[in-house]
Amino acid sequence: MARIYAKAERVVIWLGTTQADSLTSEIAMEEFGDPGGLAKISRMITEKDQIWKWASLLDLMNNTYWKRMWVIQELVVANDVIIQCGNSKMHFGLFRDAVALFSASFETLRPKLMQHLEGLHQDKKHWALDPDLEIGNIAATQAVDALSTFRRNQDGTLQQTKSLETLLCLFQDRIASDPRDKVYALLALAKDGSYFNPNYSKSVFSVYKQFVQHSINTTQSLDIICHRWARQPSPSGSESRSTSRLPSWMLPDDEYEYGSRKGEGNLLRSRKASDTFVGILDKKSYTACGAGSRRKHPAVVFPGTTMVDGQMTESTCLMARGTAIGSITFCTQSMTDCVIPGACFEKLGFSRGTRNKDNARLQDRVWRTLVADRGPDNTTCPSWYPRAAQHCLEGWLCNGHLNTDRAIYETVSYATPYLARVRNVIRDRTFFELKSNIPDSKEHSTLFGLGPSHASEGDLIVILHGCSVPVVIRPVHIVSGSQGYRFIGEAFVYGRMEGEIFDTDYEEVMYTLV
């Protein structure tokens, strides 16, 4: 397929026809499709009566085409791309420039755009204050940004510089009607894509298992199981009973489905899932399994077959060596609405007015936990974060709770970037307390952290060797009667993200993930 697109003189992207009752995409093509129109577009940013044109571009950007996984290959490989909607056409290069300008100017355009959209949709007056309404969350914006990931050689051929795992993590929220295409659609773009031969006679599980094995072997990392990239097979498909549902260590991508958190509207669709702790291969944030010569490398076994209903079938288990940190003794509900419950602050020992030096370390634990001990894009925390946290907690706690959405959009201060980072970290996550298995002192026998939305009391927090962050697993009994574990997801544990666990008398265990 990649060769077809590469050799084609021109590729036409058909976006369908414009609905009569919607913001017309054809208007956007007429307004933004002028090759010499950059000056005009620049003027449109400041002229209030031109906002309807940006709304039409937004409509074009929201076409479902941009969410498809195959789109990435089509745009990267093709030499000349034309977008067509109804009777209107637009060169993709002009569309890309328009989207880039829209993104760069969105904060300026946002108030006028929200006012315009609310005038068209009277039932959605809350849009202007909804923090999920962000231009960067739109699939078309992400597709355009993705093109900067790729380069061409002087002869026009594609430079395949990124691994399949890196590409899949970058585009893990893309959809594919055939789940196997989550992997196959990226092969032509990956430097290691030749390792795979597309074979649609294989089950979805077999294709995904081959990918996970390849990723672990080539990267010596288990981080791939922390990413939400897998698409569940259709119940009506041809999958066997044993592989009709993927194992827990292949996290589903359904949390990246687009839609307003409040269930209304889709003009500025956002992802439901929070940012990952693990990052991607060249941008790791933590070293929970150790670093350098002290790093614990993965020890993984993929059992070949197992007995199901009297028949031998492919095992869906993954056995991995790891070290337990402890078990969860307290866990909040998922912070879906980005509201931090007062119980979190009580557990962390925070109360208003605690500014004395004796409490400095306690405050450090509070503000670092809320941002997972990292700044924007998982960089080192800025030096002013503690003051920003103190300002937020002193001024915005309501009945002991902190509503980060409200705090962000009802105040403008130096603390706003800190709050934005807090919101991105805690969204759809739980706050937990755990009893340490290996306390290095009485003070550290109780630890705190953030986990996936489905974490609960009794779950274990472990560091799987080769995984850069701790993970949450849940004890279950498997068919053989032995102990197994359901993989719940990644976690942040304050004070256990840099290999500290291996400075103690730790125990190594083989965990069977099902």
Average pLDDT over every residue of 71-92: 90
- Pairing relationship of beta strands 460-464 and 318-331 according to DSSP bridges: antiparallel
Q: What band does 274 get if pLDDT is binned at 50, 70 and 90? A: low
Which stretch, 82-91, 170-179, 199-208, 269-278, has highest mean pLDDT? Answer: 199-208
Measured distance CA(289)–CA(298) in Å, rounded: 9
Measured distance CA(310)–CA(479) in Å, rounded: 12
Query: What pTM did the predictor assign?
Result: 0.88
Measured distance CA(152)–CA(26) in Å, rounded: 31
Three-class secondary structure assignment of 269-325: CCCCCCCCCCCCCCCCCCCCCCCHHHCCCCCEECCCEEEECCEEEECCCEEEEEEEE
Higher per-residue confidence, 101 vs 211: 211
Q: What band does 360 get if pLDDT is binned at 50, 70 and 90? A: low
Task: Please name the helix (run of DSSP H) or strand (run of DSSP E) that holds residue 397, with its range, or none.
Answer: strand 397-398
pLDDT tens digits, residue range 146-201? 788 888 888 878 889 999 999 999 899 889 999 999 999 999 999 999 999 999 99
The residues, any chain, with a CB within 8 Å of residue 497's CB and separated by 6 or more, are 286, 287, 288, 373, 469, 470
pLDDT at res. 256: 55
Average pLDDT over every residue of 259-263: 42
pLDDT surpassing 90 at residue 27: no
Q: What band does 444 get if pLDDT is binned at 50, 70 and 90? A: low
Of 92-96, 179-183, 225-229, minimum mean pLDDT range? 92-96
> Distance between the two ends of the chain, CA-based, in angstroms?
35
pLDDT at res. 68: 93
pLDDT surpassing 90 at residue 384: yes
